[in-house]
Structure 1
Amino acid sequence: MTQTTEIRDNMSIEWDVPIAMDDGIVLRADVYKPVAPGKYPVIMTYGPYGKGLSFQEGYKTAWDLMAARYPDALEGSSNKYQAWEVPDPEKWVPDGYVCIRVDSRGAGRSPGKIDHFSLRETLDYYQCIEWAGVQPWSNGKVGLNGISYYGANQWLVASMRPPHLAAICPWEGYSDAYRESTFHGGILCSFGKNWQEIQVKTVQHGRGDRGPRSSVTGEFVCGDVNLTEEELEANRGDMSRRAADHRFDDEFFEERRAKLSQLQVPVLSAANWGGQGLHLRGNIEGFLQAGSSKKWLEIHGGEHWTSFYTRYGVGLQKQFFDQYLKGKETGWEERPPVLLHVRHVDRFVERAEHEWPLAGTQWTKLYLDLDGQNLSPEAADGTSTVTFEAMGDGVRFMSAPFEQETEITGPLACKLFVSSTTPDADLFLVVGLYNPEGKEVVFQGALDPHTPVAQGWLRASRRELDPERTLAWRPLHTHRSRQPLEPGNPVELDVEIWPTSIVVPGGWRIGLTVRGKDYEYQGAATHLSNVKFPMKGCGPFLHDDPEDRPPSVFAGRTTLHAGESMSSYLLVPIIPQR
């Protein structure tokens, strides 16, 4: 594989630049530079999706949606160099940046074994940053940018404090692989297995002429060598196997968890209200736990790949990076630390805040009336129960119609008292919005266009709380051991529900559904080319692995209890009118 250089589209582009790692593996990067000689700040991405695979080819339905709904995302660029979840160099190089895309170890044109978010992969990223920081065209300041995978690995490498790292912008990228990706409330999410099959295996290094070609260079996206299927399998960590082998939050996941308190560089963390299952919690927790004194949180809505490329998204990123990579006074530090796009039924409204959760939040308990299946401001008298099939649709509790427009913005939590006829039970909690006719109104999620207001999950045997880190509005479970249920005996559960924002119109209601399986939208399923199965309300973030949920353990009957010392409630963050 040979490094080549050419001038095209007003950029000096170096293809397949070698970056040697300390163990002898040579990774490959594409470097997009201004034509004029000089020392420029660097925007870097490092990931497994193949630096040579065009957005349009690799993710056609996502591209077509973005082009139709957000035409400004395509403006100011020929779009020839657009790739999935990374910056478009044509929008950065003219403003005096060097853009570097590195194929991570074992992916695209970089040899080696894929081991997602491992210490080895993070060390590779560290060494790429340090390589870029000392190149003759570099001003010594490296910024990290990118969506999802390219956001999640920023938290990890930034926690290692590479000397030339100057700022990061993790855009919808999780920071806790156990809680935010692999196991939701201790329940296995099948996303990782299907994601690897569709988005990683297809661009693994060594597929050679069986893989795609770059529409720009004509070179093979997956390198020039052809490995056998057996060799390819040996060169990647198996997402299915690792989940089966590590069902608890053990050393494996600890290695893949960012040490956020050690992170010191400026941070712009961008989350998505619709990112239930992957693209929300980690950005909020990353913001809260980052050790940096300069940190900002932005939360938007819509598809998770679109706002990053829009005029709004690129403008936000440039104002941030101009401040910390170029040393310009852009006014960034005058910004309040939190920028919300508050969600209404038909629009988003931008609003700056100074903290998270928001000051003045009225933490409101809505109690579960099991007999009337209502959410009530007062706990019902007496004792009561309600029972449902443990792997079924569950039971819904509805609030009274809101008397006036009411904003709910922040994290939610739910306390339940649960028994089962079996030694365990999985709880799927769904918060929904209902119009005066009783019809649920859903929203565009990060991937799925029919997403409810909020979701939370908990396996009853994983109910043990971490007393040092649990907060009233964010219960945190240890996930270190299993505490089986005694059939028929209720136990207390504190369920984390991921944060949300919704302004409830007057006369509308919210509902809490306690289910025994994933939420399903009562309408037509939708498709994305990079999602294996049709999406029915949860996108690809499903909990349907039969080995993780054997019927002998989970297919009994689940009972909710209330009364005496068992007050079940939904904790709701209501924001007073200002």
Structure 2
Amino acid sequence: MPDDGGPEPFRTQLIDGMRVEWDVPIEMDDGIVLRADVFRPVTGEPVPVIMTYGPYAKGLPFQRGYPSAWEAMSRDHPDAVAGTSNKYQNWEVVDPEKWVPHGYACVRVDSRGTGRSPGRVDPFSPRETRDFHDCVEWAGTREWSNGRVGLNGISYYAMNQWHVASLRPPHLAAICPWEGAADFYRDGAYQGGIRSTFWDNWYDMQVKTVQYGVGEVGGLDPNTGQRICGDDVLQPAELAANRTDLGADIRAHAFDDAYHRDRSAHWDAIDVPVLSCGNWGGQGLHLRGNVEGFVRAASTRKWLEMHGHAHWPLFYTDYGVDLQTRFFDRYLKDERNGWEDRPAVQLQIRQVDGTFTERGEDAWPLPSTRWTRLYPTVDGSLAEEAPAAGGTARFVASGDGVEFSTPPLPERTEITGPLAAKLFVSSSTTDADLFLVVRVYSPSGEEVVFQGALDPHTPVGQGWLRASHRRLDPELTTPYRPFHPHDRTEPLEPGAVYELDIEILPTSLVIPAGYRLGLQVRGRDYVYPGPSARLSNLKNDLTGCGPFLHNDPADRPPRAYTAETTLHLGGSQASYLLLPVIPTA
């Protein structure tokens, strides 16, 4: 393939203060040619590169592909769309009109089989990760590159950053995964060992719609006039043959085997500087990986930032762009800008009214944490002392379960960090699925919910566990973050009592005096007791858990997940909720 010094098999345009190269070919090791759009300064001087590689079609405008998300961002975060024509805004990647003037080249690559890149679609596969590696190396060796490539983007464009960083491409200089899972099994496919149907529906709505070869259905890129999804038009059978059946693949791998590990981060290999940005309300996909990445990545130069709001707008706001550019300026431009003097952990501490207070911390979990146990009791309370006498609470195994709550809190209480629960459980069948929800109620009894990453009525905290997956990994488990290997099933003996340690994903909330804190133990997904909502790019209504539902009947057959589940609540079998209480300064 000719390099930049030879004849250009793509179109170059000087527009909006940038040199834009449309549909640049990047040849992979097996001969497949991927296509990229390159936005860079007109001077031609070598600059650092911000790259994304993903399946959402580089020619699909944000406004067209995700209209409800765009409208919400424009309305609620006007700075996200200010200072730019927005002609080059794409879903979950940087806006070049904000980055090129700051001295960066922005490279967007359509992943194999999507947009204008031919080939077979296989999301997050080793083939994709190798492609991404080679794209990083291609960008790092262009004459317009200073040899340093940074990766930045949301969700898919965050997840595959963890993957490719595990391969250590020589020209990769820093990564900023913004709200992206890192453990394919635990963070999204099988939460607590219970299958989520998110990936099935996501594939239908956001990937198949822009598969290479769908023709006019994919529309035209308004910036180039080209078909967004390539010049070839493939028949339905050809399209199906050119993509994996993602839902079937996940269903065929019910344990954390090589399939999932090939699509997950390898922490010991990640040694580049990391800015990991997670969302308190991203309980289904956009939270756990960011915290795990900060804690477990081998890099000695790593920072964690945790925020709220919907998962796409903050990335584009002045807050998000300033945070990202300062990080990349340090490691891609070698600017001595004081970045390394900042606290290792930057938190947006959530208030019950949905506002946030910024605070820096030195480590995760927070060093000042006062680990506090609250014990469910037979009268429905959460008590500070374990009940001396044993008791039980029973519920329909696939139903809404039972709830326990504190009395009105006597003083302001902050909980920030990871949570966990130890439950003593018996089942009338050979298994039980536990869905844990941490809830907070105002003095009037109204539940406090928040705008989550996707769902506008997201509860304070959630955790999941299939009882037959209860075995712990002793090396990776901590009291506040149980870790289950999920490598085999150990059926329950009906009526026998089992000790279950359940991870509840991190949260942050300052709870005023007079409010109550609750723990609900359910047999199915949480449902917000109020109106649902919708986003144009999602298949299901948003009823509290967003698109992250555990409703695959093949995964939860009635013979195993009906009848009755019993919680044991005192004496030698005292269940408890572990909270990260932060003392008032």
- TM score, norm. by length of structure 2: 0.98
How far apart are the structure 1 equivalents of 2:446 and 2:562? 29
- 1:128 alignment partner, SS class: helix
Preserved CA contact (<8 Å) 2:37 2:109: yes
1:500 is matched with: 507
Deviation of the 1:114 alpha carbon = 1.0
Match of 1:487 among 468, 485, 494: 494
Q: 1:70-119 CA deviation, whole Å, 9 max, x = no partner? A: 00001110000000000000000011110000000111000111111111
Report the 3-state secondary structure (helix = DSSP H, G, I; strand = E; otherwise coil) of the residue aligned with 1:30.
Answer: strand
**Equivalent residue in structure 2 for 1:558, among 562, 565, 571:** 565
| Structure 1 residue aligned with 2:331 | 324
Hey, what's the Cα distance between the residues in 1 that align with 2:428 and 2:242?
44
Instruction: Give, in whole Å, the separation in 1 of the partners of 2:437 and 2:569.
Output: 19
Task: Give the distance between the partners of 2:247 and 2:325, measured in 1 at CA.
Answer: 38
Contact 1:167 1:325 in 2 (8 A): yes
Give runs of aligned pairs for residues 279-428 of structure 1, distance below 5 A.
Answer: 279-346=286-353, 347-369=355-377, 371-428=378-435
Equivalent runs, 1:470-549 vs 2, <5 Å: 470-549=477-556
Match of 2:72 in 1: 65
Using the TM superposition, give the Cα deviation of residue 362 of structure 1 relative to its aligned residue in structure 2, in angstroms: 0.4
Distance in 1 (alpha carbons) for counterparts of 2:575 and 2:9: 64
Instruction: Give SS of 1:141's match.
Output: strand
Distance 1:245 1:37 in 2: 50
In 1: Cα distance, 2:123 partner to 2:293 partner: 19
Q: Secondary structure of 2:314's match?
A: coil
In structure 1, the residue matched to 2:136 is 129
1:333 aligned partner, one-letter code: E
Distance in 1 of aligned mates of 2:258 and 2:335: 42
Give the residue type in structure 2 aligned to 1:489: A
Distance 1:262 1:23 in 2: 25
**How many Å separate the matches in 2 of 1:379 and 1:563?**
6
CA offsets 1:10-39 (integer angstroms, 9 cap, x no match): 111000100001111110000001111210
User: What CA deviation, in whole Å up to 9, does each residue of 1:310-362 have, x standing for no partner?
Assistant: 00000000000011111111111111110000000121000000000001200
Residues 390 and 572, structure 2, Cα contact 8 Å, conserved in 1: no
CA contact (8 A) 1:48 1:200 kept: yes
Q: Structure 2 matches for 1:11-90, cutoff 5 A? A: 11-90=18-97
Q: Secondary structure at the match of 2:409?
A: coil
Q: Where do 5+ consecutive residues of structure 1 fail to align?
A: none
Q: Match for residue 273 of structure 1?
A: 280
Contact 2:349 2:508 survives alignment (8 Å): yes
Give, as a single letter, the amino acid of the residue that structure 1 aligns with 2:121: I
Query: Comparing 168-177 with 206-215, which one deviates more in the overlay?
Result: 206-215
On the 8 A contact 1:56/1:63 being kept in 2, the answer is: yes
Map Cα deviations across residues 40-86 of structure 1 (whole Å, 9 max, x no partner): 10000000000000000000000000000000001110000000000
State the distance in 1 between where 2:217 and 2:537 align.
18
d(CA) in 1 for partners of 2:222, 2:437: 43
Q: CA deviation at 1:567?
A: 1.3
Secondary structure of the residue aligned to 1:101 is strand
Matches of 1:360 and 1:274, distance apart in 2: 23
Q: CA deviation at 1:231?
A: 1.1
| Residue 550 of structure 1: how far off its partner (Å) | 1.0
Contact 2:276 2:305 in 1 (8 A): yes
Q: Aligned-pair distance for 1:254? A: 1.3
Note the aligned Cα RMSD (angstroms). 0.9
For 1:386 and 1:420, locate their aligned partners in 2 and report how far apart those are by CA, in whole Å.
12
Distance, in Å, in 2 between the alignment partners of 1:144 and 1:260 is 17
- CA–CA distance in 1 between the matches of 2:513 and 2:562? 39
Residue type of the partner of 2:257? D
Q: Percent identity?
A: 60
CA distance in 2, matches of 1:210, 1:535: 27
Deviation string for 1:199-241 (max 9, x for gaps)?
0000011112221211211211110111111111111121211
Secondary structure of the residue that 1:308 maps to in structure 2?
Answer: helix
User: What secondary structure is seen at the aligned counterpart in 2 of 1:248?
Assistant: coil
Counterpart Cα distance in 1 of 2:51 and 2:269: 21
| 2:155 alignment partner in structure 1 | 148
* Inter-partner Cα distance in structure 2 for 1:45 and 1:549: 37
Residue 309 of structure 2 contacts residue 453 of structure 2 at CA under 8 Å; is this kept in 1?
A: yes
Partner SS, residue 468 of structure 2 = helix
**Contact 2:20–2:39 at 8 Å: present in 1 too?**
yes
Unaligned runs of 5+ in 2: 1-7
**How far is the alpha carbon of 1:554 from its aligned partner?**
0.4
Distance in 2 (alpha carbons) for counterparts of 1:155 and 1:527:
30
Q: 2:452 aligns to what?
A: 445
- Partners of 1:209 and 1:224 within 8 A in 2: no
How far apart, in 2, do the equivalents of 1:229 and 1:67 lie? 36
Please give the alpha-carbon distance, in whole angstroms, between the structure 2 residues aligned to 1:116 and 1:210.
21
1:441 is paired with a residue of what secondary structure?
coil
Quote how far apart the aligned CAs of 1:2 are: 5.1
Cα deviation for residue 477 of structure 1 reads: 0.5
Give the Cα–Cα distance (whole angstroms) in 1 for the partners of residues 149 and 545 of structure 2: 36
* Offset at residue 563 of structure 1 (A): 2.6
1:223 has 2:230 as partner: yes
User: Displaced runs of 4+ in structure 1, greater than 3 A?
Assistant: none
Shift of 1:286: 0.4
Match of 1:433 among 434, 440, 446: 440
